[in-house]
Amino acid sequence: MRVVLADLKGREGFVSKDTVAGGYGSRFRTFSRTTAWVHRFKSQYHYTPSVHLAYIAAILAGAGHEVVSTDEAAVDADLAIVLSSLVDYRHETEWADAMRARGAKVGFVGLTASKMPQLFADHADFIVNGEPEAAAVRLARGEPLSGICDSEPIEDLDSLPFPRWDLVAQRHGSGIRMVARPVGGGFPLMSSRSCPEFCTYCPHRILAPYRTRSVRNIVDEIEQMCRLNRRPYIIFRDPLFTESRDRVLDFCTQVRDRDLCIRFECETRLDRLDDDLLREMYGVGLRIISFGVESVSPEVLRRVGRRPTPEVHQQHIIEQCRQIGIATCGFFILGFLTDDWDSVMATIDFAKDLGPTFAQFKLLTPYPGTPLWKQVEPLIVEKDWEKFDGFTPTFDHPSLSGDQLKFLLGAAYTHFYMRPSYLANVMRIHNRLVRGWVDRLDERVAARITRWEAGLVRQVAC
């Protein structure tokens, strides 16, 4: 059987799928001068191929099937498996229709197809409900699938074959290496599935329970990568990579003992990091850490089921990363139900004071299947599912209009990235005299931005 795996390019803006927003995906469009730069940066450095499709490729190829992949063109095949997303589902279903017209059977996989099968039902021969590997095993054995096909989560993740990156479409941009991540992104690796936390707005844990792979199995996969690629850049896709300190230390020991030369990044919580752990991870290749801050207000975080991290600890870990040479990226969410204009601006100011290397700001987005969705569903005003992209207002906020939320989102990117001190941080300039001059320049730039924004504020203020 000839199988084509499709991870399609988004039509507009920069589209991320697979494990982004749990699998619903995101779409970043330019909406200001600052975000035009952010869009270009994301387009060159933030793409990662689908780890789920790479697992499916390994399962099918291991059973003797011919596997090819595409990110755009239709391909002659007996079967097409399409990675689903919420933000680009129309494109995906149109592509599926074209493949069916060529005589191929079509199936959809991913969180969106699992939770919102109605979007894909008229365009598919089958829809996989759940993590796709168990269903892929059935396909590999020659079992035909049709309709809604439940796919139970694999309990023993070590039993899965390693992803076949040679069979999955990858894209490569142009330009120079930025901080640590190479042009075109890197190889995603999942050392666990789901998430042990209980944030009400997050879709990472709504498809399957939390499970982890053994450290030996993870390092075995990395060793295979190193045989095929010189010093691979690895992007751990776990929402909480350092959940177990001992597990991470074991990982560092095994990487060092096998003399594996890698660079990697991970996402975690700052309260799951300490000075010694950072140095151990840096010593085996850690170069970027991403983490959720979300809001400056501990009370706002408690209301959405997120455990706050003490501000002093956040500042300490980021400063330690800066001294060691680890880049940091903080995630912030604007527009929580208890937010107002002042609290959002306080979060923006906190992002600047915290000083991560990068910051990503998004609007609170209720995703189907999350506890937040049940809470906010009566307030939903957006009817176009593709606009549930993380950057578009989708519900009637109690205190802020849609125009205000979009203005504040743009202001967040402008205030964070248009500071001379931001550039000084990236360039690791710590000389006191220079930093004093930079801080004074920050004040002048901030005043200019404030004057420029004044007119816009009058347009969106109630």
pLDDT, tens digit (0-9, with 9 covering 90-100), for 83-127: 999 999 999 999 999 999 999 999 999 999 999 999 999 999 999
Give the CATH number of the domain where residue 12 resides: 3.40.50.280
Any domain includes 239: yes
CA distance 152 to 246: 29
Residue 216 lies in a domain: yes
Same domain, 147 and 198: no
Contacts of 152 by beta carbon, 8 Å cutoff, 6+ apart? 130, 134
Cβ–Cβ < 8 Å for 391, 409: yes
Query: Do 11 and 153 belong together in one domain?
Result: yes
Domain count, the chain: 2
In a domain, residue 290? The reply is yes
Residue 333: predicted pLDDT? 98
User: Do residues 205 and 339 share a domain?
Assistant: yes
Q: Mean of the pLDDT values across residues 120-148? A: 97
- Identify the domain boundary among 336, 365, 382: 382
Give tens-digit pLDDT for 177-192.
555 677 767 899 999 9
Residue 105 phi/psi, 5° resolution? -80, 145
203 with 119, same domain? no
Residues 153, 245, single domain; the answer is: no
What are the pLDDT digits (tens) for 302-358? 999 999 999 999 999 999 998 999 999 999 999 999 999 999 999 999 999 999 999
Same domain, yes or no: 141 and 226 = no
Question: Mean pLDDT across the chain, nearest whole number?
Answer: 91
* Angle between helices 245-257 and 215-228 in degrees, nearest 10: 40
The share of the chain scoring above pLDDT 70, in percent, equals 90
Instruction: Give me the pLDDT at residue 121, please.
Output: 98
Residues near 236 by beta carbon (within 8 Å), at least 6 away in sequence:
188, 189, 190, 191, 264, 265, 266, 267
Its domain, for residue 119, covers: 2-157
Q: Are 146 and 256 in a shared domain?
A: no
Segment (H or E) for 235 = strand 233-236
Select from 139, 157, 175 the last residue of a domain.
Answer: 157
Of 106, 139, 157, the last residue of a domain is 157
Whether residue 342 lies inside any domain: the answer is: yes
Whether the predicted pLDDT of 45 surpasses 90: no
Band of the pLDDT at 40, cuts 50, 70, 90? confident
* Averaged pLDDT for residues 133-140: 98
Same domain? 17 vs 93: yes
